[in-house]
């Protein structure tokens, strides 16, 4: 019993001991605009960045890092055009260039690379090479526009909960102030800075919340300047 308790304590320490934090804060849950700040420890790395959220704002996403909230609040669902609310690991970056300078795992977006958003498929919410039998629903990672020219993979719904939401990224905006289908977007120059800064060894995470959740966040990250 004592061993199990210690394992749980150590797991919590690992989950919350992020050395790099990408913090996105919106005015309200239904806002499609927000401010992004990058922190290493308690030091802000770049100036504030304007970002776009889902067309209908935020809804609670699925993550292994919990943040206190009312369980009756809206939950992220496939196709709801809401970005996930909560705390999520940032696992890798992707882009159109065959190679880039980064300290994160890099995924080269070839013409046959897709992300599966068919929740009945075995590869739901995964980035894969197009299989012989195409999924019923998917998106190409190498688009005809620049939105996926450079992006960051957000670890949302890792367990592939059916209709839990899929293919969540930080990526290049379609145009200024354009809401997304459920991701977080910004100018190419801004995401390029973030990609160059992120380091897998520093356990980078995304925290994405409306202002009303900042008090709960302070309990987890008391050293983070949230005022």
Strand pairing class (205-210; 83-95): antiparallel
Give me the count of residues in the chain. 227
Whole-number Cα distances in Å, 141 to 94, 149, 217: 9, 9, 33
pLDDT for 123: 98
Q: How far is CA 74 from the centre of its chain?
A: 18
What is the rounded (10 degree) CA torsion for 98, 51, 14, 94? -10
User: Over the stretch 47-64, which tens digit does the pLDDT of each residue have?
Assistant: 999 999 999 999 999 998
pLDDT band at 11 (very low <50, low <70, confident <90, very high): very low
Q: Tell which wins on pLDDT, 222 or 11.
A: 222
pLDDT for 210: 97
pLDDT for 217: 93
Within 8 A by CB and 6+ apart from 139, the residues are 114, 115, 117, 167
User: Over the stretch 121-161, which tens digit does the pLDDT of each residue have?
Assistant: 999 999 999 999 999 999 999 999 999 999 999 999 999 99
| Residues 209, 83: Cα–Cα separation, whole Å | 10
Enumerate the β-bridge partners of residue 23: 37, 207
User: Over the stretch 167-185, which tens digit does the pLDDT of each residue have?
Assistant: 999 999 999 999 999 999 9
Q: Is the pTM of this model over 0.85?
A: yes
């Amino acid at each position: 019993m004592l061993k199990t308790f210690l394992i749980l304590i150590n797991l919590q320490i690992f989950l919350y001991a992020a050395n790099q934090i990408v913090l996105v804060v919106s005015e309200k849950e239904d806002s499609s605009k927000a401010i992004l700040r990058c922190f290493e420890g308690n030091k802000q790395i770049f100036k504030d960045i304007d970002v776009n959220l889902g067309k209908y704002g935020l809804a609670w996403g699925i993550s292994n890092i919990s943040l206190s909230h009312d369980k009756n609040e809206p939950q992220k669902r496939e196709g709801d055009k809401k970005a996930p609310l909560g705390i999520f690991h940032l696992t890798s970056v992707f882009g159109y260039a065959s190679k880039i300078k980064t300290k994160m795992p890099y995924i080269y977006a070839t013409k046959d690379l897709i992300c599966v958003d068919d929740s009945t498929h075995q590869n739901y919410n995964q980035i894969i090479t197009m299989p012989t039998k195409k999924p019923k629903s998917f998106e190409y990672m190498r688009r005809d526009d620049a939105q996926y020219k450079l992006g960051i993979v957000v670890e949302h719904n890792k367990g592939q909960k059916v209709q839990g939401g899929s293919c969540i990224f930080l990526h290049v905006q379609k145009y200024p102030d354009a809401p997304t289908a459920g991701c977080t977007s910004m100018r190419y120059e801004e995401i390029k800075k973030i990609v160059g800064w992120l380091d897998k060894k520093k356990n980078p995470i995304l925290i994405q919340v409306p202002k009303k959740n900042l008090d709960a966040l302070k309990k987890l990250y008391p050293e983070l300047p949230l005022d």
